Structure formats: structure tokens, C-alpha cells
Structure 1
Amino acid sequence: MDKQSTRARHRTARACIPCRRRKIKCNGAQPCSPCQTSGSTCSFGALDRRMTSALYIKSLEDKIRELREIMQNDSRRSESLHDQQPPSVSIGRSERHSDQSPSLSVQSPPESFNEDVIETMVGTHDNVHDKETSPQQYRGSFAGLRLLQRVQGLCRQISGLPRSSNTEALEERFVRAFDLTPTNTSCEGILLLPQPAEMTRAIDVVLNQALSNMQFLDCPSLQSIVADIYSDVENVSLKCHGKSLAFLYSVLALARLSETVAFNEDIGSRQGAANGLRYFNASREMIDPASCRDLVSLQTLLCIAIYAQASSMMSTSYSYICIAVSTALQMGLFEDEAPRGITESEKLCRRQIFAVLNIMDTYVTVALGLPKTLRNVISDQALPAPVKPLTISEPLAGTYAHAQLIQILAAAVESIHPPTRPISEKNGFYAVEYSKITAIERQLEAWFVQLPPLPSTSEPAIDSNVTRSQLLLRLSYAHVQMVLYKPFLHHTLKGVLQNCCLNLKAYACGSACIKAAMQVVWLAERLETCKLFNESYWFTTLILAFAASCLAVFVLSNSRDESDETAIAVCKIRELCSRHADGNVSMQRCSEFLESLPLGRADVRDLTHSNMPSRYMQNIPINFGELYDGPQAGDEQDSTVLQALSLPMYLHSSDHFGGFDAF
């Protein structure tokens, strides 16, 4: 007999449940070899190795449920989802280029859609990392910059422009213009000090222009620091004033960037901006972010962050804001009670710094789609003063109103499209509850009615600083409206209105975004008329880019007459960007993008002669059905929610646009 046949075979008293069910040999290990190979759960050695029929059926149901979820997630990521949805509706002239690129289409909503939420144009599986620059670069799904790029893609697709390397390069240049990389230059601090008279003028420019509605500096403290520095310049003992010198350099950088007229007639705007960059780099070199534990260093960080944002360096601005937040929290600025021994002026300064820091943090995190750095802030502590200013001429009046508005913006982002968690979804798109939108609308209306009315152009001019503050407040108000309504902009596209079962509430949200964009155009024109416009004011270029993209896609999709007010507004904002293109990269790229679109050349007339601006300033709802053939009352769905329409699958793909997070 063969030795192998006589070898004793290991036998088990009882096989595990999977082996018995499959009728295979079980070696008695824990787990046994067959279960380990197949990935099954081995029951050998368990006290109760028998599974009842009910438990077995339940385990099978759980596995089937898991497999169905995996299949649904995979189908959402694939292009097959487009074939499973209801028939699409083509928009505009994109059908002419169906052989070149997928047709721009919007699907009609499913009948079984949940009536408690509304869908946006933001896909649940959009790529949030920038493949072009760094895989570690994150941009949230609802980031303002990502939505801006999405609307730009809509403009190109609706206009029927063929996809080419030139258009790709143009879009990439534009979308990256808001997040440039700072240049590093080495400077000698002692050689950069200007004359005392120029320094005094720089302080006036920063207080009245650069920090309009974001006031956290006071003139007496600045003048005291200047006196100390310039007295020590003669003695060449600047080493002991490193923090104060870095503070002055940041103030000088803001002044060079923010003044509408050059400091000296012999110095042009380009040279003035270059000098501002030198001050900016010198301030960055002289301050140590890890050792900022005083108000002067904190003010320096805020000035650097404002300069970086005004120079289209959004990520750099965000980095300095995070450093400032860390410093402010460690210094206890979030507490109402200040340390003992400080004066009342220092207490007020601490409160102003924290309020402005909260404003800046909200703006930048909304633009980048990142979680808010300052969270769970007491609403009263986020205001620059314990008592509301009585008149608009008080220094903190604009900052106080601005801080209140930003609290509404933060609440809107947190409740409608928070960056840290998914909301309800349908067909692969995020959804928003309509009741939350109306709640934010009521807060915005209550804030707006508290603003004093603007004087007309025929009335005697008031203080220019007050006029600038009030106009910029309304510009910020329009920005908050665009943040609220921009995810629903596609409801105003003409192809959707003519071929789908419409909901007037969804259409109203998209129209409100167009209304806010028109308001931005009028405000920018009014600022220019008053000689108060400067593209370096806080978030001005990004607000203009938002307005331009919204108006452009509206005009292109609805084929409006060139004499229409919306078409005129597009031409006006295009010319405004062209006039200021030399001084700002973002304005230059925005102008190039608008010039590439077939928008026509309308006879630009002054919008102040129409009734649109007056209705904007009085907060009277505008019926956009008067401007073009919109939905009629009989077309409204019988529901209490907005139904946003799904965009085509190629808008989901970040590869189609070279990355949604290209900013």
C-alpha cells in the first residue's frame, strides 16, 4: 500500500456552517482554509454554530442591500446615468456642435422627487482635488470659485463655441487668476521707508479706502507708531521695532494698492503696485507667524491677508487668516471680558479685530468651499462695537452693518450648502430645502431695510467716505444674494423654460441671481461715476466676475435683443473690466473671457436713466417675465418646493473643464 494512502487524515467532528452549506471539507481551523480563501465568515468554534432560517435570510437581505448601494454609487459615477434619466432638452445653439461635444441639456425632474428639497447644479461626485497643480489642493463642491468655473463652461457651451486648445488655455488662465502664487523678493527694510508726509497720506488712504467697512485700525495709534519709528530712523536703531516696522510696511502695501490716484504724479500705477509688492514682501519677511501674541502683529497679519486677496492670491490670504485666527483665539479675543489692566481703547481694538477677522474668514472660506475657521462665535461678540452706531457718518457704522450681513452669509452657507457634510441628493446632485432659502431671504430683507437710502446723482454729494461705504455695503449684499441663488441659475435658461414642466419658485431663485448681478453692474458704474471705484477693494474683482458670468450665460441662453437691459449690462461690465485690466490680473482675465464670447456690441447707455437701479436700491422684486418670455402662471408645478433640473453628465466631469478646482 502506498505510504500516502496510509497517512492519517485529519478529520473534524463538525464542519463550519459555510462548509456544510457548500458541502466541502472543513479542516477545523479558525478560520478554516475554505472560508479564508472565499472571504466568508467562518463559524467553526462558535458556541452556537447553527444559523436559524430567519437569521440566514436576514444576512442575505443585508448583503443584497449592500450590493445594491454599491451598484447605485457606481452607476452615478458612470455615464450610463445620463441614459437612465428622462429625455433631455437641448439649449441654445449647442445642437449645432453635437458632433464635437455633448449637447448642453437639462433633464426634466422625476415625478417621484421628494418635495421637501430642491436640487442644485452641484454634483455629489464632483472631483474636489486639483489634478493640474497638486492632489492636495482641495476645493469644496459649493465653492464660489468652482461655481464660477461651471458657469463659464455653460457660457462656452451655450454659445456654441467649438472646443479647442485656445479656449482651454483661455479658461484656465481666467479661473486661475484669483489664486496666484506670491513672488518672493528680498528687501532691506531701512531703504523702504518713505517720507513722513507720504506715510501720513498712506495712513489716510488705508483708513478711508482700503479698510472701508472693515475697520480695525485707528489713526492715533498709527501716528504714534510712525512717530516712534521715524525718531529711531535717525538713530539707526530699528532692530527693537521689528514688529512695528512690519506693521507699517503692510499699511504701505495696502495704500499703494488701494489708492485710486498714484501717490506721486511721477509714479504710474504699475510702479506704485510694484512698490506695494515690495512693502508686502518686506512685511512678510519681518513678521514671525509663530510668535504673534500682540495686537500690532495681529493687525499686520490682517493687512497682509487683505493685500493678498486684493492681489488675487486667495490661498495665501487664507493661510494668513488661519494664522490670525489662531493668534486671536490664543489671545482670547472671542471672549467679551478682556484681561485686566488694559484701557477701553484696547478693548475696542480687540473687538474690532475679531469682528473683521470673522468677516474675512467667512468670505474666503465661502469662495474656497472650505469649513469656516471661526465657528460657534457669539453673534454679539462678532460685532465691532457693543452698541450699534447711531449715524452712518460714525467710523464703525459701515463695519457694524457689514459684520451683521456676514453673519447672515455664514448662516446661509451652514444651512444651505455646508462644505463638511452632504445634503439630500437626487440623481447625483445636491439638494436644498426651500424653507431654508426663504428663511435666509427674510434675514436679508430685514438687514437691507435698515440701510439709509442713497442720494441720487442730482442731489448734493455727501462725504465721499460715507458714499463709498454705502455703495460697498450694497455690493456685499448683492454678493450674498449671488451666493444664495447661484446654484439655481440654470432655471433661467431658455431651453428649460420652453420644454419642461416648470416651477415658478425655482425660476424665481435663478432670476434673483440675475437681479443681484444687475445690481452689481449699477453699483460699479455708480462707484466709477463718483470716482470711488478700485478693483483692489475687498472681494470686488470676484464679485464682478460672478456678476459677469451670470449675466453672460443668461444673455447667451435667451438670445436677447442687444437693446435689452441685461445685454447692456453685460457690455458695461465687459468695458469696465477692460478699463481696469492693466492694474489687476483678475480683471484682465475676466475681460479676455468676455471678449471671447459672442455677446454682441450693444449701444451702452447709462443705466441710471432706467427704472432698474431704483428698484434694486428699494429692494422691490423685479418681474423678469417682463424682460423675456418666461414661464406663465399656468406652468407652475403644484408643489411647495423648488425643483432644480439636473445638468448633463459632462458638466460633472472635472476633466472636461481641466479641473473645477483650478483656482
Structure 2
Amino acid sequence: MSTIPLESMPLSSSSTSPQLQPRTQPLTQPPPRHQQRKRSQVARACDWCRVHRIKCDSDHPCSNCKTRGGQCSNSRPIRATLPQAYRDLERLRQRVQELELELQKYRTSDKPVHWVQTLQSLISSTSADHDPGNSDPDLARGAGRRAGRVWEGIHISTARSPQKTWYGPSSLFYFIGQINTFLTSALEQTHSASRMLPNSASKLLDGPNSEEDQPGRLVAPAGDATHAGEYLTPTQEEYFLSLFWQSYHTSCPILDELGFKEHYQSLWATSDKERKPSALVDIVIALCMQYGMAQLPCARGGVSAASRDNVNNNDATIAGRWHYRRCQTLLAAELESPTISTLQCHILCSIYLCCGSFQNMADNACGLAVRTAYMLGLHLEPPQGMPRPERELRKRLWWTLYVLETKISMKLGRPFLLHDSSTTCSLPADDREIAMLSGSSFAPIEGNVTWLTWSLHNTKLLLAARTAYTNVYDRAPDAFNACNPQPITELLDEWLKGVPEALKTKRQDNGVPFSTDKSALEIEQFTPVWLQRQRLLLELMYHNLCTNLYRPSITFALARPPNSLADSTAMKCAAHAMALTRMMHQVLLSTSILAGWHEAFQWQWNATMTLVGFALAYPQGASTGAVRSAIDDSIAVFEQFGNSFAVAASAVMIMSDLSGKVDLVIEQSHRKQGAAQNVTALDKMQLVAPGYKESGNEWLLTGDFTAAQAINGPLSFDYQTTAEITGVLGQSIDIFSDAYNDFDWLGMNSNFPDRGL
């Protein structure tokens, strides 16, 4: 069989397979039915296609915009990416909402003094809006907060500070500024906020005033600072030191009693007339002199008007000033190498200054204590190799300082110095073993409660209050009335569940401790004074903190829109202030537990000014009568404290003046309300007598009017009607209705002739 060469075979489209064709000969295939055009590359899509995330072409307008009716804008370059655009839109949307809320607040209130948008916030928001490189979301949110309303403080000069210093929105000074602004507007009289601040005994801390001394000047004692001045004899020092262990030691457990007494005895080893210098001993003596002088019979006799010009020599608030000055001189040599004793001195110095109403100096001393504590590493957990008494003392030092700094910062409205992020120190123990190892010999209390238990629960109270405080003042000021204050209540109620019964003062008639049920205290006669004081201080601190946390809800606006949430919160604030006043009134006037306790006076002053603000803001409130009665009780408390120090006597005069202004505002409010009711009654009278018509200045009754006298009789005015018309006319032309009391309304009967129909 012969073989036919492949090259000579004829090719057929039906029988020839591509696999049989040689590789060297190209094949011609038919073109595809739908040949796809290659998409042209587009350097930048148009805005519409980018937003909808679809492919775009290089035409203008593009095919998508032609077919779908979009606005093609690919000729304009896009400055930001899509995520940046979304962030900008969200930021602008929030900004619009803030501005709308601000405009609404401005329209519905009489220029509230709470909130002011500062120029710096406007500059920050403007620069953030126009900065094309500002794409950081955290930075954008920060710019939004700065652009919105911010909590503003007040620059004011206190009695101790001739220069104006800044106090934050949570401070009583800021609230007093609000009261002053409201009174100026409501009474149309010029008022000064400084006149609402008690006048302290002295603006100096190192000696009596003289004409040459300038206010606020601190002159060092002449000569050797460690020996000059008026100091105590050994017997006098022993008397005041004995007061410390029953008073401040139980509420500020930062000293080892046994170790301190051994240290004090060592100072007399070389002489029986003069002890060696010791900063710690000096500040303890100064603090006890400040407290003890208020309890002496001569001090409790009262600060007479004749002696007020020279109260600097004997007022309790500046007692022990020489020892304080010597303590400061000795501490100057320990700044570079501080010890535990140095920290103890700074803490006690801050307490001494705070009780003396030296607000800024107390804040500075607390700041020194904070830096010293960090230098000593007290914010860290003590090493396990250290003896337990020393470890627990370091813990008590740190947390006592934490409580002190928290109280001062919230009281003055200034930023906190201590922060939890850098703290690893655990809370101190309060068991019986450590109570016995602490150097003090207090008898144990029932329920595994010791004299150290109070300090532990006081620390937990300040921790809960600080959390609530941060929640309030970290948001915009106008958001407080819109938010639910329930978290504040929940935090404090959760703390209250852990307080043992042994630290609660019982109530009469089955009253509940730590409540606002108006129940009287049950003072236990045979309970140690230090334990009774611990119980009272814990509950008073609780009411004081609640008053401060709820106080931002009290707004001073002449035309305030109804807000049940803010009103109920303001009533809570007033209830806690009244509860504190009732406790102080009963304890001060019937016992000596809190006699001369300067911090208790400051709590009462804070509560009383809050009650004044509430009465002015809610003159028609259901609780205003009880609030007004509580203000009178507080004046009695100030009179009792006035027997101890001059600042309380000054508070009596201030509250006597403010209570009169409160009565005036309440009276004006009731007068306006009565006028509105009378006008409403006249409107109703017109509705009852639809047949009347008005002709000129006369009312012609054309129908039966059974509510009035007979039509044919004379139009007479009895005394009740005269009083109502007087009130209506007095309010209609915006003057007091007393100006019409001399007008003979009863004699007007003859001016109305009998008219018949």
C-alpha cells in the first residue's frame, strides 16, 4: 500500500482538523461575534462615579452621568479621599446640631451665664474646618468639642486673695457668681459677688495686720525663723498634741502614733526648756491649735463687734501660724531629698490651710504633696519584702492624699493632679491585726469594724464621686440637663450598700441614715466621741458631694422652659443640702461633737448658698418653703460657729442680707403669679357672660350675669375685689401695686351711674 504525502492531500474545511495542520502554517479563524473593546484607563474618576463606586470613562460628561442623570464633575480635582469626606460630613453634621442647640438655648433663656463660647474655641474650630491635612478623626472630634460650648469658670478675688484667681464650674465661687448675675437682673440693682464671700479674720498668715502690710503678703518672722515668734511651752504643746489623736488622727490616719510619740520625746533629750526643731511636730501642733482654740471657753464666748478689728491675734482660723511658718522653713531643706515625714508635713499643711480658708495656698501645698508622693514611689504597690505595718502606712498615705487632692480639685473646679492610669497601689487594709499594729489603741467595733474602716469607706466614697464628677463635667455643659442623672445616683447608691451599720448614725422614728427623709439623729450617749464624729463626717461628706454633683441643674433664667428632668435633679440637690443643714443644726446646738470643726462649717456654707440659689431659681417651687426654713436654720448654725471663728460671724451677716433678697424675689414671683391668675379670672368672666359688649371705656351687660351683682344696682367694690384690681393694675404697668393703695376704690361707686337696659 502506497503512502500519500501529507503535503499533497487536499485541504477541506469540513474534514480538516486544526490538530493536523503544521505549526509553521498560521491558521485564519473567523472573528468573534462580540469583540470586547478594551476599557480605556482613566486617571481620575468623576465625583459622581467615585461616590457610587462605579467605573468611569474619560468622556465629559461620562457615559454613566449621561445615562443616569448624574452631574459629572471630573474637571474639578478632589482634595480628600472618600473616608475623609465621610468624616468631614459627620463632623459638619455634628457642628450644625451643636449650633442649632446653642441657638435654641439662647432663644429660650435669658442669656444663661453657664456657657460661653470662647474666641479660642472659634479659632480652633475654624482652623480645623479649613485645614485640608486634618484627617485625624481623634483630632477632628477634639476640634468639635472645642468648637462647642465649654464649661467656663470665674475669675474672682476671695477674702484671702486680693488678686483675681480662676475657679472652675463646680466651685461654689462660680455658683455665687451665677447668683450675683441673677440678682442684678431680677432686682435691677448692682450687686458684687465679693460681698457674698465671708470676710476672714486675716489676710496674713504670719502675724497681725498693720497699715504697712499689704493684703495677701506673707512676711517671714524676723531673725532666726526656727526660733522667732510666739511658741508654746512644753505643757501647752502636750495639751494640743493630745487633741490630735482623738480628732484628725481618726480621719487622717497617716501617722504612727507610737512612732510619733517616741520621736517627740527624743526632741527633748538635751533640754527641758526648748525642744529640737521638727517640721512634723510643728505642723501637728499648728493644726491642733487651729482646732483646739475654737473649743476654749474664751473663744466660745463669741467674737464681739469691738474685737473684730483685732481678731488677728486670737481667731482660731490662724491660730498656730508661727508653728506653720517654722514648719515651712524646715521643709525647705528637705525638698531635694524628701522622706515619708516630708510628705506627711505637706498633707497636714494643706489641711491646715484649707481649714483656714487659704484656698490657693492649700491647693499649692497639695500639689507639693503629690509630687513628693511620686518621688517616693507611693503610687506603686509596696514591695512584699517590706514589713506589713510599713506597707499599710504607705498605702494609707497615698490614698489619704488621693482623697485630699480629689476634694480640693472638685471644690475649686480645677483639673485633677492624680490619675488612676499611673496608680498600682491597692486600697489599705482595715482588719483588726493592722489596726493593732498601727500604733494606736482604739477599742474594736462590732462587725469586724476598726478605727481604720472609716478611712477605707471614705476613700471609696470619693472614688465613686470622682467618677460621677468626671461623667458630668466631661460632656458639654448644656448636655447635663438633657442627660439622665441616674448614673450619679447609681454610683453613690452602690457605694452606700457597702457601708457597715457601725459607721451609720441611727435615726429616730425608724428613719433611714444617708437619706433625705427629714428624720432626727439618735445621738448615742456612751459611744466614743471619735466614732460619733466619724459617722457624722461620713454622712455629711456624702450629702455635700451629692449637693455639688446635682447643682449644675440649677439654672438662673428668667424665662426657663419646662424641664421636668432638670427640675427633679435640682430638687434632689436641695434635698441633700437641707439634710446636711438639719444634721448640722441638731448636732451643733445639742452636742460638742463638731464644735470648732472648720470643714463642717465649710460644708454648711456650701449647702446654704446652694439653698439660696435654689430658692431664687424656683421661687414658686413646692419645696421653696422648706428651703427658706432651712436657710434660717443655717443662720443659727453660723451663729454657733461664730463663737469660734470670725469667718462664721461674717457668714451670719451675709446670709441675713441674702435671705431678705430671697424673700423679695419670692414675693415678686407670687405677685406676678397672682396677677396672671386675676387676668385669667377676668378672661373666664368674659366667657361666662358672653352677652357683654364693649363700647368705648364702658362695659354694657346685655345678658344675665349671675356671678356678679344685679345689673340694675350700682357697681360696688368690696375689699377683696379692691385687692385683686390693685394687683392687676400694679402688674399691668410693671410697678408695685402698693402705689395704688391710697386710691379710693370704694369711693368709685358714685362714679358709676345706674344703667338699665
Same fold, TM-score > 0.5, yes or no: yes
Deviation digits for residues 548-589 of structure 1, max 9, x if unmatched? 012223334325899943322110112322343464465345
SS in 2 for 1:252: helix
Closer, same or farther: CA 193–535 of 1 in aligned 2, 3 Å: closer
Tell me the equivalent position of 2:722.
none
Contact 1:139–1:369 at 8 Å: present in 2 too?
A: yes
Closer, same or farther: CA 475–54 of 1 in aligned 2, 3 Å: same
Tell me the equivalent position of 1:460.
525
Query: Are residue 215 (structure 1) and residue 276 (structure 2) matched?
Result: no
Tell me the equivalent position of 1:139.
167
- Using the TM superposition, name which of 583-592 and 216-225 deviates more: 583-592
Contact 1:560–1:567 at 8 Å: present in 2 too?
A: no
Closer, same or farther: CA 51–307 of 1 in aligned 2, 3 Å: farther
SS in 2 for 1:231: coil
Contact 1:302–1:357 at 8 Å: present in 2 too?
A: yes
Among candidates 384, 407, 415, match of residue 363 of structure 1: 407
Summarize the alignment of residues 514-529 of structure 1 with structure 2, pairs less than 5 Å apart: 514-528=574-588, 529=590
Deviation digits for residues 92-118 of structure 1, max 9, x if unmatched? xxxxxxxxxx89999xxxxxxxxxxxx
The residue type equivalent to 1:300 in the other structure is C
Tell me the equivalent position of 2:234.
196
Deviation at 1:591, TM superposition (A): 2.9
Contact 2:254–2:344 at 8 Å: present in 1 too?
A: yes
Contact 2:350–2:363 at 8 Å: present in 1 too?
A: yes
**What CA distance in whole angstroms lies between the structure 2 residues aligned with 1:355 and 1:63?**
43
Deviation at 1:229, TM superposition (A): 1.1
Query: Are residue 310 (structure 1) and residue 358 (structure 2) matched?
Result: no
The residue type equivalent to 1:476 in the other structure is M
**What CA distance in whole angstroms lies between the structure 2 residues aligned with 1:590 and 1:509?**
27
Query: Are residue 170 (structure 1) and residue 195 (structure 2) matched?
Result: yes
Summarize the alignment of residues 414-453 of structure 1 with structure 2, pairs less than 5 Å apart: 414-418=470-474, 423-424=475-476, 426=478, 432=483, 434=485, 436-447=487-498, 451-453=503-505
Closer, same or farther: CA 601–251 of 1 in aligned 2, 3 Å: same
Among candidates 483, 490, 493, match of residue 548 of structure 2: 483
SS in 1 for 2:450: coil
Deviation digits for residues 314-365 of structure 1, max 9, x if unmatched? 211111111111111221222232485x543322322221121111010011
Contact 1:298–1:328 at 8 Å: present in 2 too?
A: yes
Contact 1:155–1:549 at 8 Å: present in 2 too?
A: no
**What CA distance in whole angstroms lies between the structure 2 residues aligned with 1:436 and 1:561?**
25
Summarize the alignment of residues 321-470 of structure 1 with structure 2, pairs less than 5 Å apart: 321-338=366-383, 340=385, 343-376=387-420, 381=425, 383-385=427-429, 387=431, 391=445, 394-418=450-474, 423-424=475-476, 426=478, 432=483, 434=485, 436-447=487-498, 451-454=503-506, 456-457=521-522, 460-470=525-535
- Using the TM superposition, name which of 342-351 and 245-254 deviates more: 342-351
**What CA distance in whole angstroms lies between the structure 2 residues aligned with 1:468 and 1:278?**
28
TM-score (normalizing by structure 1): 0.64
Among candidates 525, 535, 538, match of residue 473 of structure 1: 538
Tell me the equivalent position of 2:631.
570
The residue type equivalent to 2:411 in the other structure is A
Closer, same or farther: CA 452–69 of 1 in aligned 2, 3 Å: closer
Query: Are residue 227 (structure 1) and residue 265 (structure 2) matched?
Result: yes
For structure 1, list consecutive stretches of 5 or more residues without a partner in the other structure.
Answer: 1-49, 91-101, 107-122, 603-663
The residue type equivalent to 1:460 in the other structure is Q
Closer, same or farther: CA 590–154 of 1 in aligned 2, 3 Å: farther
Query: Are residue 531 (structure 1) and residue 592 (structure 2) matched?
Result: yes
The residue type equivalent to 2:279 in the other structure is A
Contact 1:304–1:317 at 8 Å: present in 2 too?
A: yes
Aligned length: 502
Closer, same or farther: CA 477–311 of 1 in aligned 2, 3 Å: same
Contact 1:213–1:473 at 8 Å: present in 2 too?
A: no
**What CA distance in whole angstroms lies between the structure 1 residues aligned with 2:201 and 2:410?**
17
Closer, same or farther: CA 597–364 of 1 in aligned 2, 3 Å: same
Deviation at 1:70, TM superposition (A): 13
**What CA distance in whole angstroms lies between the structure 2 residues aligned with 1:601 and 1:134?**
28
Among candidates 612, 635, 650, match of residue 552 of structure 1: 612
The residue type equivalent to 2:179 in the other structure is Q
Deviation at 1:255, TM superposition (A): 0.6
Summarize the alignment of residues 513-662 of structure 1 with structure 2, pairs less than 5 Å apart: 513-528=573-588, 529-534=590-595, 536-537=597-598, 539-556=599-616, 557-558=618-619, 564-581=625-642, 583-584=644-645, 586-599=647-660
Deviation at 1:226, TM superposition (A): 1.4
**What CA distance in whole angstroms lies between the structure 1 residues aligned with 2:494 and 2:366?**
27
SS in 2 for 1:597: helix
Summarize the alignment of residues 198-277 of structure 1 with structure 2, pairs less than 5 Å apart: 198-234=236-272, 238=276, 242=277, 245-259=278-292, 262=295, 271=314, 273=316, 274-277=318-321
Among candidates 129, 146, 149, match of residue 124 of structure 1: 149
Among candidates 110, 128, 152, match of residue 179 of structure 2: 152
How much identity, in percent, do the aligned residues show?
Answer: 13
Deviation at 1:476, TM superposition (A): 0.5
**What CA distance in whole angstroms lies between the structure 2 residues aligned with 1:520 and 1:310?**
19
Query: Are residue 186 (structure 1) and residue 237 (structure 2) matched?
Result: no
**What CA distance in whole angstroms lies between the structure 2 residues aligned with 1:137 and 1:285?**
26
Contact 1:365–1:371 at 8 Å: present in 2 too?
A: yes
Deviation digits for residues 40-74 of structure 1, max 9, x if unmatched? xxxxxxxxxx9833627999x99998998999799
**What CA distance in whole angstroms lies between the structure 2 residues aligned with 1:135 and 1:236?**
40
For structure 2, list consecutive stretches of 5 or more residues without a partner in the other structure.
Answer: 1-72, 116-147, 205-214, 304-312, 436-443, 508-520, 664-757
TM-score (normalizing by structure 2): 0.56
Contact 2:350–2:362 at 8 Å: present in 1 too?
A: yes
SS in 1 for 2:78: helix
**What CA distance in whole angstroms lies between the structure 1 residues aligned with 2:199 and 2:314?**
24
Closer, same or farther: CA 130–506 of 1 in aligned 2, 3 Å: closer
Deviation at 1:283, TM superposition (A): 1.2
**What CA distance in whole angstroms lies between the structure 2 residues aligned with 1:62 and 1:306?**
53
Contact 2:287–2:320 at 8 Å: present in 1 too?
A: yes
Deviation digits for residues 286-325 of structure 1, max 9, x if unmatched? 2126235212121111111100000111211111111111
The residue type equivalent to 1:258 in the other structure is Y
Tell me the equivalent position of 1:284.
328
Structure ranking higher on relative contact order (CA contacts 8 Å, 6+ apart): 1
Closer, same or farther: CA 164–219 of 1 in aligned 2, 3 Å: same
Tell me the equivalent position of 1:657.
none
**What CA distance in whole angstroms lies between the structure 1 residues aligned with 2:202 and 2:476?**
33
Deviation at 1:512, TM superposition (A): 1.2
Contact 1:494–1:558 at 8 Å: present in 2 too?
A: no
**What CA distance in whole angstroms lies between the structure 1 residues aligned with 2:576 and 2:649?**
23
Closer, same or farther: CA 400–463 of 1 in aligned 2, 3 Å: same
Tell me the equivalent position of 1:511.
571
SS in 1 for 2:265: helix
